[in-house]
Amino acid sequence: MNSVVVANPEPGLRSRSHEFCRWVAVQTLRHLARPFSVGKGGRAALPFSAELARAETAFQAFLTTGQQAPGVRAPSIGEPGRADPTKDERRLLRALAAAQAGNWPVLDNYLYKFALDRRQRAGLADAVRALAAALAGNGCVLPACPPPCIPAPALRVAFMHGLVLDGIDVAWPGSPTS
């Protein structure tokens, strides 16, 4: 594997760095899911790196396991070159942003939809962390997600379950964020 080949982006996309990084991440995910598909008129988006090779190996292993294991669902990945990301690709983009920020609990939360058991998510988490490192190594840093905001009535339930809510915004009734 020398590089991930993706189709050329839409005109003007390079000028908007966060959008370009999202585009590169989605197209790279699509090529990791289909390692032998090469788009016509493509170009190398990410040069070969150990992180990218590790991401491809881990992602393929998770997809293979997902077809056989109960409680595991393979993400819905679009075709290379398609413009709009799927719902699962948007979730993986948020997971990539969390991995780049080093926020492991948030990363695990985004991957929960794909595998119920934490041990089953480990392979996908490795793939996401490796791809996040490969993207960051090539200057593609995804914007961090805003901190979660929970509705005020949920505070009592959260405290009853012993959850630590440090750093979480609360949406109080009547406030502009509610």
pLDDT digits (tens, 9 = 90+) for 153-167: 777 777 777 776 666
Residue 149: band (very low, low, confident or very high) from pLDDT cuts 50, 70, 90:
low
DSSP 3-state assignment of 162?
coil
- For residue 96, the model assigns a pLDDT of 92
**Are residue 124 and residue 89 in the same domain, yes or no?**
yes
**Are residue 109 and residue 166 in the same domain, yes or no?**
no
10-27 mean pLDDT: 69
CA separation for the pair 110, 113 (Å, rounded): 7
- For residue 11, the model assigns a pLDDT of 46
**Are residue 106 and residue 133 in the same domain, yes or no?**
yes
- Show the domain range for 46: 3-137
**Are residue 44 and residue 15 in the same domain, yes or no?**
yes
| Nearest alpha-carbon partner for 122 in 59, 176, 30 | 59
- For residue 100, the model assigns a pLDDT of 92
**Are residue 99 and residue 38 in the same domain, yes or no?**
yes
**Are residue 165 and residue 129 in the same domain, yes or no?**
no
Question: Who has greater pLDDT, 32 or 158?
Answer: 32
Q: Which residues pair with 3 in a beta bridge?
A: 47
Asked if residues 78 and 117 have their Cβ atoms less than 8 Å apart, the reply is no
- For residue 106, the model assigns a pLDDT of 85
CA separation for the pair 54, 162 (Å, rounded): 37
**Are residue 170 and residue 106 in the same domain, yes or no?**
no
Buried b (16+ CB within 10 A) or exposed e, 110-140: bbeebbeeeebbebbbbbbbbbbbbbbebeb
**Are residue 48 and residue 125 in the same domain, yes or no?**
yes
**Are residue 12 and residue 80 in the same domain, yes or no?**
yes
Residue 129: band (very low, low, confident or very high) from pLDDT cuts 50, 70, 90:
very high
| Nearest alpha-carbon partner for 33 in 73, 3, 74, 2 | 74
Residue 12: band (very low, low, confident or very high) from pLDDT cuts 50, 70, 90:
very low
Q: Is the pLDDT of residue 8 over 60?
A: no
Two structure tokens written together for 77 = 């990945």
**Are residue 95 and residue 129 in the same domain, yes or no?**
yes
Count structural domains, the chain. Answer: 2
**Are residue 130 and residue 157 in the same domain, yes or no?**
no
Mean pLDDT over all residues of the chain?
A: 75
- For residue 97, the model assigns a pLDDT of 92
Q: Is the pLDDT of residue 115 over 60?
A: yes
**Are residue 24 and residue 94 in the same domain, yes or no?**
yes
Helix and strand numbers, DSSP H then E, in the chain: 6, 4
